[in-house]
């Protein structure tokens, strides 16, 4: 073999290796496309829908208990920081603690399911799938509320917390539950959108997941938006103390905030997210 031919083959192999490297780079870039993010969340939703009732209940109760760290963290900052204009922005970092524990701990939080378990329904479009989703929603929400009432009972009826924290917890609880039904509903919509956005961004967050959750859940608190599970801890504190009756708790706070979170997470964000991948998903389904 002549040196010229050998040199030509070496150049061709180098070009081929370079083209293969470029192709891999393109594929890696495409790996974070909206379609793939949708598929990751859809499969996660299918796994959640297939979980046993027992595991959903215990995971939901754990989430309801640990979300209380949001109320506790915010109360600690409010109690011990000086009363200055900037305290509001700093104290709301405490609100992120419960969400960090629940989301990174992979526990069942109702507002996450307003996108995770809805995406499989968008593709299947069957009554069976819809009923499975509603079953999961009912189980997880009930379990979250049970956990919220259990931990708030410990706050109110035991000496688990330092006495100086309770005034801040009560103040936060009165504010969260005292907005009125209409305002609670509208303030809940952005919170539902933000939680759904967190779920949508997590598959590509990798090491930044901690800061992603920290930043966007801080935004919920700083924006004075309402969240049904964290708010249930605050609602339960006042219920246990006899300051908030069952009627106002349910009809002025719980149901309006629940409706707002569902509207924001499902009817706003999830439908928009589905809209951008629908053509690709349905096209692949027809080809399959």
Distance CA 172, CA 170 (A): 5
Residue in the block written with tokens 């993010």? 37
Residue 181 forms part of a structural domain: yes
Specify the number of domains making up the chain. 1
Q: Which residues contact 255 (CB under 8 A, 6 or more apart)?
A: 181
Q: Report yes or no: 233 and 71 within 8 Å, Cβ to Cβ.
A: yes
Residue at 284 is within a domain = no
Q: What is the pLDDT of residues 98-107, one digit of tens each?
A: 999 999 998 9
More confident residue, 130 or 218: 218
Q: Nearest-CA neighbor of 75 among 152, 164, 156, 168? A: 168
The pLDDT of residue 272? 80
| Angle CA 197–136–179, to nearest 5 | 55
Q: Predicted confidence band at 7 (pLDDT cuts at 50, 70, 90)? A: very low
Cα separation, 46 vs 119, in Å, equals 9
Q: Which of the 8 DSSP states describes residue 131?
A: H
pLDDT tens-digit profile of 126-166?
Answer: 888 889 899 999 999 999 999 999 999 999 999 999 999 99
Task: Specify the pLDDT at position 18.
Answer: 59
Q: Is residue 179 part of a domain?
A: yes
Q: Please check whether residue 83 lies inside any domain of the structure.
A: yes
pLDDT of 23 above 60 = no
The predicted pLDDT at position 29 comes to 45
Residue 22 has pLDDT above 60, yes or no: no
Task: Give the domain extent around 156.
Answer: 35-279
Q: Is 85 a member of any domain?
A: yes
Euclidean distance between CA atoms 68 and 90, whole angstroms: 18
| CB-based contact 277:42 (threshold 8 Å) | no
Residues in contact with 132: Cβ distance below 8 Å, sequence separation at least 6, in sequence order = 49
In a domain, 4, yes or no: no
What angle is formed at CA 261 by the lines to CA 280 and CA 91, rounded to 5 degrees?
A: 115
**Residue 18: inside a domain, yes or no?**
no
Tell me whether residue 163 is in a domain. Answer: yes
pLDDT of res. 26: 44
Domain containing residue 165: CATH number: 1.20.1080.10
DSSP string, 56-113: HHHHHHHHHHHTHHHHHHHHHHHHHS-S-TTHHHHHGGGGHHHHHHHHHTT---GGGH
Q: State the chain's maximal CA–CA distance in angstroms.
A: 95
Mean pLDDT of the chain: 87
Residue 121, pLDDT > 70, answer yes
Q: Is 36:195 a contact under the CB 8 Å cutoff?
A: no
Residue 59 to residue 65: CA distance in whole angstroms: 10
How many C-beta atoms surround the C-beta of residue 37 within 10 A?
A: 20
């Amino acid at each position: 073999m002549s040196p010229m031919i050998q040199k030509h083959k070496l150049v061709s192999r180098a070009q081929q290796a370079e083209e293969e490297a470029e192709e891999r780079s393109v594929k890696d870039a495409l790996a974070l496309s909206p379609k793939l993010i949708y598929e990751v969340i859809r499969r996660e939703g299918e796994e959640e829908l297939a979980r046993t009732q027992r595991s959903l209940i215990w995971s939901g109760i754990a989430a309801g208990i640990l979300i209380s760290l949001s109320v506790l963290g915010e109360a600690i900052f409010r109690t011990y920081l000086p009363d200055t204009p900037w305290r509001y922005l700093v104290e709301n970092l405490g609100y992120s603690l419960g969400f960090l524990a629940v989301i990174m701990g992979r526990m069942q939080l109702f507002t996450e399911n307003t996108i995770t378990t809805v995406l499989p329904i968008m593709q299947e479009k069957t009554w069976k799938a819809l009923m499975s989703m509603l079953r999961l929603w009912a189980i997880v929400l009930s379990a979250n509320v049970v956990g919220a009432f259990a931990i708030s009972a410990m706050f109110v009826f035991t000496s688990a917390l330092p006495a100086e924290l309770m005034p801040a917890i009560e103040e936060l609880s009165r504010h969260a539950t005292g907005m009125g039904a209409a305002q609670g509903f509208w303030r809940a919509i952005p919170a539902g959108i933000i939680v759904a956005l967190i779920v949508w961004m997590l598959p590509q967050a990798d090491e930044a997941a901690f800061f992603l959750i920290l930043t966007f859940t801080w935004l919920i608190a700083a924006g004075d938006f309402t969240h049904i599970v964290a708010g249930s801890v605050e609602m339960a504190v006042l219920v246990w103390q006899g300051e908030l009756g069952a009627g106002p708790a349910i009809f002025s706070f719980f149901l309006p905030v629940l409706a707002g979170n569902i509207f924001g997470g499902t009817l706003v964000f999830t439908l928009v997210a589905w809209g951008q991948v629908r053509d690709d998903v349905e096209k692949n389904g027809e080809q399959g």
